[in-house]
Structure formats: C-alpha cells, structure tokens
C-alpha cells in the first residue's frame, strides 16, 4: 500500500487555521466531504471526535493520525494538514501537534485500516522528513515530499 493511493494532491491542506482539536478535525473533515460525495461531513466529524474521546490520536513528535470508519466509503481515503504553530491535541509527549494525517476507512476494513495507520506512522517517524513537511512552501511541495518519501519503502 502506498500513501499516494490514499492521499491526493487536493487533500493536502498546508495552512490549517483552527486552534483547537475540534476546529482542526472539522477543517480536515470538511475537505474530505467536499472532495468525496460519499462522505457526509456531520458523520465524519462525529466519528473523528468519538475516536479522540477514546484517546488522542496525537502520537508525539508533532504528529496526529485521526482516523475512523464510515459507511458508504469503499476504499481508504486520506487528508493531510499542516498547522505551522501547532495545536494542543493532547499529544502523548505534551507538545503541540503540527502534522495531521486523517484516514477514513470502509466499515469492514480492519486489516487495511491497520496497514494504512502503520504506513503513515512509519512515513512520519523520520525527523528530517517532518522538518521538511513543516517548512515546505505549500501543498504541491508537501505532496511531492510525501510521494518521494513513500517511494523509499
């Protein structure tokens, strides 16, 4: 599985504006709902917020991987967002979160869902790569960085 099978250039949001967890999740969910008619904004927002209530998806090092399953979705879809200043996302390390990768999976896709989470997590582990994502000029550069890094694995 490649990240570029999940993430399209249109789903890269280089300048998230929200300053709270619900605001950021709302921005990312709105982008996905606008791009994919099978996604209802209210349903996706509710699923992402419910997942966060179970425990933060911010894994540290400025990364969060919000995720959930939705009826009507036929393949795993993703959105990437960057918040230059960072947001309190209740990260495991207590630091602000700047890089967000949302994954939306079909209801019956347990193994693919887990593979996608592992792939994104592995991709974002590299400090230098994260630094490049944070300093990238815009969406096109971010997508190219992701595509190039993904090709290494």
Residues assigned a catalytic role: 67
Alpha-carbon gap, residue 83 to 17, rounded angstroms: 7
């Amino acid at each position: 599985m490649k990240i570029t099978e999940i993430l399209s250039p249109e789903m890269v949001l280089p300048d998230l504006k929200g300053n709270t967890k619900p605001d950021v999740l709302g921005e990312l969910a709105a982008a996905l709902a606008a791009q994919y008619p099978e996604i209802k904004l209210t349903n996706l927002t509710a699923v992402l917020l419910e997942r966060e209530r179970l425990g933060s998806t911010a894994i540290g090092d400025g990364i969060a991987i919000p995720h959930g399953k939705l009826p009507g979705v036929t393949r795993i879809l993703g959105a990437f967002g960057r918040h230059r200043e960072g947001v309190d996302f209740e990260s495991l390390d207590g630091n602000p979160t700047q890089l967000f990768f949302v994954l939306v999976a079909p209801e019956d896709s347990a193994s693919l869902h887990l593979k996608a989470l592992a792939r994104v997590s592995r991709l974002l582990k590299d400090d230098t790569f994260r630094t490049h994502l944070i300093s990238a000029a815009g969406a096109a550069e971010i997508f190219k960085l992701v595509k190039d890094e993904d090709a290494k694995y």
